[in-house]
Amino acid sequence: MKLRPLFILLLFVVSTAILTWIYYSATHPRRHEVEIPWRETIADLDACCRRKHVKSTQYDHFAGIAEQESRGQVARLFRAMALSERLQEQNCREAIRQLGGSYLPPTRIIVFHGNTDGNLERSIAYELRTARECKCNEIDRAIARNNRYAARLLTWSSSVDMRHTVLMHRCLGCDETDEEWSYLVCPRCGNIFVSNYCEPYCPFCLTSGQQFVRFE
């Protein structure tokens, strides 16, 4: 009998604690459910990372095809672009980490098996399509959030992709007896240069040209 009041009191305390927790949970969403300022930017960086990962895999594969077809000029370009894409993926992945997110690369990538000119055309079309669909919007959203760090990385990504498109256009249907170009890649931002027109430093990130990775 003496235990009954104590049991009732304990039940009351537990019930009060549960009701208090329910009320607090309803009025104070958990931290990860709160609107994080960088949530949208992290999602854009994640999408950029995934594009870069897929393209680096494709470009390495396309380089192998070009080598089999004795298209050394195109193979060098694809190898250089593959490195460029990996460097940009690393930059965006680090940005995601700095902003409190996490990134997992795609686990399944479908590669194409066309000839070299077909692979160039496919890659050019993809770059033009994604440029229209998402890249400018990603940069605009980062700027709207006042996240200049992410905006800079996304701008680098978009600008380098434009360079890739121009270089692939030049290689489309090129004759291997033409003047051979070697390519240089900035190890920090992934910017790509034709060696004949290389600058003493990267205009994007000011990395010294002496550190550029050469493909020749």
Note the pLDDT tens digit of each residue in 67-106: 999 999 999 999 999 999 999 999 999 999 999 999 998 8
Question: Chain-wide mean pLDDT for the chain?
Answer: 84
The predicted pLDDT at position 34 comes to 39
DSSP string, 191-214: -EEEGGG--SB-TTT--BGGGPEE
CA 67 to chain centre: 27
Map residue 14 onto helix, strand or coil: helix
| Cα Rg of the chain (Å, integer) | 26
The predicted pLDDT at position 32 comes to 47
Cα distances (angstroms) measured from residue 62 to each of 115, 171, 179, 216: 8, 13, 21, 17
The predicted pLDDT at position 25 comes to 64
Q: Measuring CA to CA, which residue among 127, 129, 117 is closest to residue 176? A: 117
The predicted pLDDT at position 14 comes to 61
Map residue 136 onto helix, strand or coil: helix
The structural domains of the chain, with segments of one domain joined by +, span: 34-176
Cα distances (angstroms) measured from residue 54 to each of 33, 57, 87: 30, 5, 13
* CATH, domain range 34-176: 1.20.1260.10
The predicted pLDDT at position 130 comes to 82
The predicted pLDDT at position 33 comes to 40
- Which residue stretches of the chain have pLDDT < 70? 1-17, 19-36, 134-136, 175-179
